Amino acid sequence: MGFPTGAQTIVLTVDASLSDGSADRDPITLTPTPPQIVSTVHDHIVAGDPIQLVPDRATGAGAVRVLATDAAGYLPSGWTYRVDRSGQSPYYITLPAASGPTVDLSSRTPVSADPGQYDLLAPVAEIEAYADERDAATLAAANAYTDGHSGGGAQPWVFDVTAPAYGAIGDARSVSDGAITTGTKVLRCNTSLPFGSGHATVGMHVGIKGAGPAGVSWYRSTIASVDSSGQITLADNASTSVTNAVVVWGHNNQAPIQAAVDAAEAYLAAGHTYAQVFTPPGAYIIDGPLSTTKSGNGQITFGIYPTTDVKRILHFKGSKGSSAVRHWEQLVPQTGGSAWLSFGTYASSSAQTADINANGNGAVLCGPNEGTSNGLAYGAAARYSNVMAVLEDLAIVTAHSVSGWTYGAANLYGTANAELLDFAYGTAGLYSAGDFANPNTFADGLSIGLLMPSAGNNDHNVMRNVSCNGGYTYGVFLTEHSIADRLMVLYCWAGVCPVGTYAGSVGASHAMKVVQASIESCSHELYVVGPAAQGVGPIIDIDQLQTESGAPNIDGNSTGALMAALGRVKLTGLYNQAGVSTAQPTGIEVVDGGVPSAIRRVTGAFTARPIDRTLVCDTTAGGFTGTLPDADVNPVTYVFKNVGSATLTVGTTGAQLIYTTSGTGATSASVAAGATLRVQAMYNGTAWGWYVV
């Protein structure tokens, strides 16, 4: 980091050598408490971004130049640095200029976090007072610190999960060379040798992908002993033998994070309207049972807010960039930025079904939900907790279950409003390991990665840059009033699920909109859940549905749901046009975005596809039949142009009728050479048919 001449700086040093003579190679992170430190004297702004002190790989020694916490000419003054080191709870230090040009980290005594002071002095008498952009910068820094989104950590409305009062430790580590044998407790990582240098301690929680029971897949236990840098003994026997397995371990943070949420809710209950639960950078393991104490069903829960009072805002905030998408060659789960990593799964399909029926869908983060035994079935019958849940700059990773028995990431079904901003979720599965080769296996379960507030909600469902990295039965339950600018869903049995009605909710009366949806490698790109109000909807428009599929498909949980659904979806990306299909008739119009105009030339018998519009039929080699799809609620107008010399026959599906100018329906119509037939589906009060228009 460069500093202007005259700025008071300090060289902070560290000796990270260990008692055995080896070096601790993990970087140390220093983060200024205020989001900006501004100097009008030096015309300089220091962003409050994390600074890394990286020890030498051989000696463990390291140094970095940083700004003194009381540097003259800078505002605020007297602030602190937050120190994050692997295996330790975060703490705060001061580095005043008087402490010397060089200071060793070990010499600093931890202090309480302090944002510093802004000494904005009044002008001296008889000296002209003025304001320019430099003053504005200083005031902007002050204002930035009072912004509830800043995550500074010292504001009374910010509840940092790593604060001493709560004690979360984001120290989860991942490797991909784990080996354990059925019926044994010894875990070996002979290539990565990750357990030395204090990186594994007795009592830490451990998850191993694939070592659990069949269907569950995920194995969870705790460390009983650290035997060497490449071996630990666990408290429980593995159910399945694995090699080259993903291993994740670290401190369990379920209780600390829940304590921070409880404190934030107590702050709201005291009459305040906004509280932020802040998760600093790090991967935080959450390992423990689902709780139903707040009318929800989650590992981390928040509660009920009366509809007669001011709506409260509960903000779950992490660090910028936490929504990064996992690379397909990654060998470990994506836990960059601020990530919660859950080890929770159901033991079986029957256990999952029974719990959902009683307590609603289980999730890592859950508000009051649709459960009937744990509360009043929030989200059903237009009953809501009067809270807006905001999830921002956060990733939630859940245990990977080949059968879809994992918990969801977030259940917001019973909250009145929701905002998801730069949010990512998905299981700990990996493309490189073949975990998503067959998403049909996830259909054995009922996992829903994300539930938005149910139909009937309070008209504020906002999704900006939301990514589902896959591994669920249903990627996202999208509900009325939802609007998303970028929505990605990968590797689920059903990707985006427009909801008309579910779990006792009222029927949706309003639409949902996605600007760009990337839905890849899902068995069903769209899956309609229940018909909406009066059998009209759900209504969904997707400006661009990017996919990589040989057979893009729209399905639903009933024929009635698909037939009630409406909207317009434009396919883009890599897909087989011949494979585009709908499982049942639907009112959702599918548009082929891969061509300038939907014109297809055919020379033999065919059936019109959902993405067809104009069929140019060349009958030069002889007549043939083109078959119309089911007319029921079909939104497409088809044009048949005979450019050959023989007769083209247009037939129907299921003996439906084609009504020509005679007004008498027939199951087929003849199109002479050079002629054109244009038909549209209509309901005549008795049955659906095709009418010439």
Asked whether 663 and 684 are in contact (CB, 8 A), the reply is no
pLDDT of residue 17: 64
Does residue 231 or residue 35 have the better pLDDT? 231
Task: Give the residue carrying structure tokens 């499982």.
Answer: 583
Domain ranges of the chain: 9-119+134-146, 173-250, 254-532, 599-692
Same fold for the pair 9-119+134-146 and 254-532: no
Residue 398, pLDDT above cutoff 70: yes
Q: For residues 476 and 453, give the distance between their C-alpha atoms in angstroms, rounded to a whole number.
A: 11
pLDDT digits (tens, 9 = 90+) for 478-492: 999 999 999 999 999
Q: How many CB atoms are located within 10 Å of the residue 182 CB?
A: 11
pLDDT of residue 154: 62
CATH architecture type of domain 9-119+134-146: Sandwich (2.60)
Least confident of 20-29, 427-436, 452-461, 647-656: 20-29
pLDDT of residue 523: 97
pLDDT interval class at 1 (50, 70, 90): low
pLDDT of residue 473: 99
pLDDT of residue 425: 99
Query: CA torsion sign, 156 to 161 to 162 to 166?
Result: positive
What mean pLDDT is reported for the chain? 92
pLDDT of residue 179: 99
pLDDT of residue 118: 74
Average pLDDT for 25-30: 83
Asked whether 418 and 387 are in contact (CB, 8 A), the reply is no
Whether residue 552 has a cis bond before it, omega within 30° of 0:
no
Residue 141, pLDDT above cutoff 80: no
Asked whether 387 and 367 are in contact (CB, 8 A), the reply is yes
User: Which residues, including other chains, have CB under 8 Å from residue 316's CB and lie 6 or more apart?
Assistant: 276, 277, 279, 365, 389, 390, 391, 392, 394
Class of domain 173-250: mainly beta
User: Phi, psi (5° rounding) for residue 350?
Assistant: -65, -40
Specify the length of the chain in residues: 693
What separation in angstroms does the CA of 16 have from each of 24, 26, 55, 123, 685? 5, 9, 7, 49, 81
Least confident of 171-185, 416-430, 541-555, 659-673: 659-673
Residue 153, pLDDT above cutoff 70: no
Average pLDDT for 363-387: 95
pLDDT digits (tens, 9 = 90+) for 295-331: 999 999 999 999 999 999 999 999 999 999 999 999 9
Residue 41, pLDDT above cutoff 80: yes
Does residue 628 or residue 375 have the better pLDDT? 628
CATH 2.160.20 fits 254-532, yes or no: yes
Asked whether 636 and 614 are in contact (CB, 8 A), the reply is no
Q: What is the pTM of this model?
A: 0.81
pLDDT interval class at 18 (50, 70, 90): low
Question: What stretches of 566-685 adopt beta strand conformation (E)?
Answer: 566-575, 581-582, 587-592, 599-602, 606-607, 614-617, 624-627, 637-642, 648-651, 658-659, 665-666, 668-671, 676-683
pLDDT interval class at 375 (50, 70, 90): confident
pLDDT interval class at 116 (50, 70, 90): confident
pLDDT digits (tens, 9 = 90+) for 521-574: 999 999 999 999 999 999 999 999 999 999 999 999 999 999 999 999 999 999
pLDDT of residue 20: 54
pLDDT interval class at 126 (50, 70, 90): very low
